[in-house]
Each structure stands twice: as C-alpha cells, then as structure tokens.
Amino acid sequence: MTANPRTSNDPLSVLTDGKLAEGYGPVFANGVVTGVYRMNLGQSKRISLITSWSTNVNGNRGPQRFSLYGSNAINDPGWALEDRSQFTPLGTINTTLIESDKFNATRLRMSSRTFRWIYWQVSPVTSLGENSAFQEFRVE
C-alpha cells in the first residue's frame, strides 16, 4: 500500500492486515480533498470484488466516499487517475447519507476484470473536511 499525499496515525500496512481497529487508521489530514490509497497486487490478477471497511471514530469518520480505479500497467502508473490510457474507472461509493454503525463496510462487485493496481480516491465525509477512518481494504 502507498498513499498520496501522506497519511497520519497508523502505518498503511494496517489496511491489509485482516484486522479492524477502532482508531483512525492511516487517515488523510483534514482538508485533503482527493487523497489516494494505492494497492499493488504484484501482478495482474482477475478481480471481481473490492471491500472497504471504516470505523466511526468520534461519531463522524465511518462514512465512506470514494471512487475506485484499476490499472494493468506493468510498471508504476503514477497518480494521474484521469489518464484513461492508464486507468479504468470501476465505480463510486458514497455512504455519507446513511447512518454509520461502529464499523462500516462497502463492496463493489463487478464482472471479473484483470488489474495489477487498485486505487481508492477518497473525498472528505464531513463539513469540516474530515476523511474516513479506513481500517481494511480487500481485493478478491
């Protein structure tokens, strides 16, 4: 996992450790409007399901608002997600209008596609510009 810009609090490795915690996780600073998490699968793999978990820290960080992108580039494709020669939009999720529980999970199912890189481009979930407290990402 990598992120752009840098995240605060926990290391990015907690996003793929199979555990849910009640803290902030590797969160983008308040005011970061388009933070991006990137997962390198190591090689091209067939993908059909992407799951994202968050926790409702302080009663406001549980909602999720992000767009997913995939890339099948052999080498690091960078961060320019608008480049359609490198990135394929997969979907957008926004749960800010749904009441959050202690932990929240979202899933994007798709017909099986092949990608090496998966990107979560996140947006703030509160009027104060606070971002989701993501706890885990899983790509199947």
Domain of 85, CATH number, reads 2.60.120.260
Q: How far is CA 81 from the centre of its chain?
A: 14
Q: Are strands 65-71 and 103-122 parallel, antiparallel or unpaired?
A: antiparallel
6 near 38, Cβ under 8 Å? Answer: no
pTM: 0.96
Q: Which DSSP state fits 79?
A: S
Q: Considering its fold, how many domains does the chain have in total?
A: 1
Q: Give the tokens for residue 139.
A: 């790509």
Q: pLDDT tens per residue, the chain (140 residues)?
A: 999 999 999 999 999 999 999 999 999 999 999 999 999 999 999 999 999 999 999 889 999 999 999 999 999 999 999 999 999 999 999 999 998 889 999 999 999 899 999 999 999 999 999 999 999 999 99
- At residue 61, φ and ψ (nearest 5 deg) are -105, 5
Residue-range definition of the domain harbouring residue 97: 2-139
The one-letter code for the residue type at 58 is N
Burial class (CB in 10 A: 0-12, 13-18, 19+), 111: exposed
